[in-house]
Structure 1
Amino acid sequence: MDSLLNVLSWLLLAGGLLFFAAGSLGLLRFPDVLCRLHALTKADTLGLGLVAAGLALRAEGLAEVAQLVLIWLLVLASSATACQLLARQAREEHPDD
């Protein structure tokens, strides 16, 4: 059972890193600000969720799991707010794009 949790943890961590890489690639490759923001916030949010889930499987107690969940929720709220503010500013500066 322990090795199954270990394998699942590694799969979740690898999946999270894959989403982080995809979001970074989207940031570099997409043509405009709004597409870049969308790729970055969606992929990084899911990537962090997968990494937090993978680390939660390795946690030794509920306090550590609660901290991981709290970190993930705070990043969800802050990235959504930051993305909204950046998108609004980009739209004001370049309304024709």
Structure 2
Amino acid sequence: MPFYLEIIICVSLLIGGVFLLVGSYGLVRLPDLYMRLHSPTKASTLGITGVLLASMIFQSHLKGFLSIQELLITLFLLITAPVAANMIAKTALHQRTQPVEKTKNPELIDIVRDRESPKQSQHEE
């Protein structure tokens, strides 16, 4: 394996590992559910992308052609992680999970929770 590929793979693994470490640390340290959603969706998604990118480069070199399995996994994660975080946040909102006291504009939580969907307001007109 050429030295430049080893360097690229190592750098990609290190960057991915750092993002995963930061995401895991944030998941443990952040005080409430709403803040904890940022760690796994942002930092960990970037971390997994770095690790899968390194795997894609390595496998492509070994096989002699482009390995797209890792690319498909990365695309799937980049699409599903924000959607899952949004669903978790909506569930917490409707379960009336309270944020920490330091949260700015807590009155907006009640406004968002009690608003009608656009489909309901169109039917009433």
Task: Place the TM-score, normalised by the shorter chain, in its bin.
Answer: 0.7 to 0.9
Alpha-carbon separation, structure 2, partners of 1:31 and 1:95? 13
What is the RMSD of the two structures over their aligned residues, measured on CA atoms? 1.6
In structure 1, what residue type is equivalent to 2:93? R
Give the alignment of 1:1-80 within 5 angstroms.
Answer: 2-59=2-59, 60=63, 61-62=65-66, 64=67, 66-80=68-82
Identity %: 33
**1:85 paired to 2:55:** no
Alpha-carbon separation, structure 1, partners of 2:97 and 2:8? 46
Q: TM-score normalized by structure 1?
A: 0.88
**Shift, 1:80, TM fit:** 1.5
The 3 A distance-change label for structure 1 pair 22 and 45 is same
**Shift, 1:94, TM fit:** 2.4
3-state SS, counterpart of residue 31 of structure 2: coil
Q: Relative contact order (C-alpha < 8 Å, sep 6+): which is higher?
A: 1
Q: Which runs of 4+ in 1 moved over 6 A?
A: none
Q: Which structure has the larger Rg over C-alpha atoms? A: 2
**Shift, 1:4, TM fit:** 1.2
Q: TM-score normalized by structure 2?
A: 0.69
| Unmatched tracts of structure 1, length 5 or more | none
The 3 A distance-change label for structure 1 pair 24 and 86 is same
Please give the per-residue CA displacement for 1:45-81, whole angstroms capped at 9, x wherever unaligned.
101111121112212321x2x1111011111222122
